[in-house]
Amino acid sequence: MRISSILPRTRVSTGAKDAPTNKAQVIHQLAELLTRGSDLDRNEVERQLLERETVLSTGIGEGVAIPHTSIAAAKEQTAALLIVPHGVDFESCDGAPATIFFGVIGPKQAASEHLKILAKVSKLLRKIETRRRLLESTTAEQAHTLILEHEKSELGPVCAP
């Protein structure tokens, strides 16, 4: 499964409007993005993402956080991308503010698939050039196109059956 298959452009935000200034606001905006176009309850998604953060911060360092959780009501893996260039304290392992937030939710019964998506997101954001270009994106379209380009270069074009 490609990241782009679970991350439509409508779930990408460059954070320019109403940019969050703290962890709770980031989670709130990610929950809003993650539930766009779905029948999932935004408040429940937000609650579960916040609950997951109490276990251990999903701030993995180098300006990246990957808030994620499994939700019983979820029918499929879903992702959202929030870019906040000024950074937010997310209790990351390196102590640095996070600027790129990649939210992922999935069904409780699909733990293996969920872990694979998290690994792909981590691999995508491991490259400093990718992170730099995402931070320079001024529109959702630019950020989304960058992810599509990355997948194309990493995996090759999608071929019709």
**pLDDT score at 160:** 41
Domain coverage including residue 78: 3-155
Strands 59-61 and 64-65: antiparallel
DSSP at 5? G
Low-confidence ranges of the chain (pLDDT < 50): 158-161
Q: Which amino acid is present at 132? A: R
Q: What is the pTM of this model?
A: 0.92
Contact at 8 Å (CB) between 14 and 83?
yes
- For residue 161, tell me if it sits in a domain: no
Which CATH number characterizes residue 37's domain? 3.40.930.10
- For residue 160, tell me if it sits in a domain: no
Summarised one tens digit per residue, pLDDT across range 132-157 is: 999 999 999 999 999 999 888 876 55
CB atoms within 10 A of CB 44: 14
Work out how many domains the chain is built from and give that number: 1
**Over the chain, what is the mean pLDDT?**
91
**Joined tokens for residue 130:** 């990718």
